[in-house]
Structure 1
């Protein structure tokens, strides 16, 4: 995938929250790798997830470890703008999934403005943007997260809960808000064909989501056996090394042999 590296600068438009207005410059560089999400039934690419990497392809941890309370807002905004710009430059026509930090969003209607501006500037439809939050992030105020989700849906964005089954919220969050997509945690996917317990749990999640009209995406798939087992359960959206690694190479390197 094409390497896109630079220091991201956030627009200097007035921000209502004093924490944002007084924040220091981000102070470090990062880039993105885009990993495809596969729709198995049609053998097509459903979308791409933008994953942060260091400027020379270093791990996401090398970037995220530099994020703190002082630069969290600017980092979150830079991720949104950079992911959209990169997707546009790569010619991505499918959905674009962007991870966001709910603890960095003070007022959804204010914090989303840079995203709108980037989508307009790079001619990327907001209807093709998915905002996902990892269930593993300890959200300080769940009602605030639910409000963010509702606002994003109202603006026309898709929403997703990542790493479902591994975090702090679980079914309680799902009872308060039903996203467009639930992404099953890769630990439940790993070796699922060998574990009756994992199969039962994933079947349960899939059944609940079907009742709530939520699409289920299985991530972290590495083997044909995992793919086949999940397909038998009824999961159609998949992501993982079996299909394509999130490496810094050209879009279009997904091998249909693994589908």
Structure 2
């Protein structure tokens, strides 16, 4: 028997994880806006390799462990910006119960909840929308922000945007890749920016690798960017403002 967060399962998570941090940059202010925490294996394993080791029995413990590790590590590294953490909606039975460790870790680290954003992805087909809505509303109640990740790559993006009203929308690499030479992608992003403005959402373009992509997205009104063009994820450290590579 487990509690709503599967605490018994926490004892069966038999592989170590570490956190890497990739900056999200603000093109208007020309500084780092925040960092996304990305799980890695202590042996250098990628996120995909780590996730492949997660079973149904360790899913809850993995989700909880990543949250706590992200908060503790970022605080130890002197975080003074926003922190984004990915979460697995299907790993959560009771939102209130599953937030206890997160809230405790944030309090212990001196990190206010309004500086933490929880990201969920539309590439995971969400069958139980009522449960996800409860999760999002619970997080907001405690002061956290939410972000819809990988927008444009998965299931029912616009309907999820309308139903869950995240604070931030992250454009998937599928829309970003080659946008400088694609009138169709430009038209789609232009439409997304209009919707985001009407709904009061921040927009982040992720997976930006080329200066031409950055310039096109910036001209379309995108302010926040994430990708190898600016900085790669780093294990155990937070990039500084003066380390960001600006294409112009």
2:36 to 22, 31, 49: 49
RMSD: 1.7
CA distance in 2, matches of 1:101, 1:186: 20
Task: Tell which has more relative contact order, 1 or 2 (C-alpha 8 A, sep 6+).
Answer: 2
Is contact 1:216-1:236 (8 Å) kept? yes
| Partner residue, 1:202 | 189
SS across alignment from 1:106: coil
CA distance in 2, matches of 1:76, 1:198: 34
1:242 to 229, 237, 246: 229
* Structure 1 alignment gaps of length 5 or more: 1-13
| Partner residue, 2:162 | 175
Question: Would the alpha carbon gap of residues 257 and 171 (structure 1) be closer, same or farther in structure 2, given more than 3 Å must change?
Answer: closer
2:175 to 180, 188, 198: 188
1:213 Cα offset (Å): 0.7
Q: Does 1:147 align with 2:123?
A: no
| Partner residue, 1:227 | 214
| Partner residue, 1:77 | 64
SS across alignment from 1:41: coil
Is contact 1:103-1:140 (8 Å) kept? no
4+ residue runs over 2 A deviation: 14-17, 21-24, 247-259
CA distance in 1, matches of 2:162, 2:238: 37
Is contact 1:57-1:248 (8 Å) kept? no
CA distance in 1, matches of 2:70, 2:235: 14
1:175 Cα offset (Å): 1.4
CA distance in 2, matches of 1:174, 1:250: 33
TM-score, structure 1 as length reference: 0.90
| Partner residue, 2:144 | 157
Is contact 2:18-2:235 (8 Å) kept? no
| Partner residue, 1:93 | 80
Q: Deviations over 1:3-31 (max 9, x none)?
A: xxxxxxxxxxx9743x7254352111111
SS across alignment from 1:234: coil
Is contact 1:32-1:51 (8 Å) kept? yes
Is contact 1:15-1:110 (8 Å) kept? no
CA distance in 2, matches of 1:204, 1:65: 36
SS across alignment from 1:112: helix
1:250 Cα offset (Å): 3.8
Counterparts of residues 92-111 of structure 1 (less than 5 Å): 92-111=79-98
CA distance in 2, matches of 1:74, 1:139: 21
| Partner residue, 1:20 | 6
Q: Does 1:38 align with 2:25?
A: yes
| Partner residue, 2:52 | 65
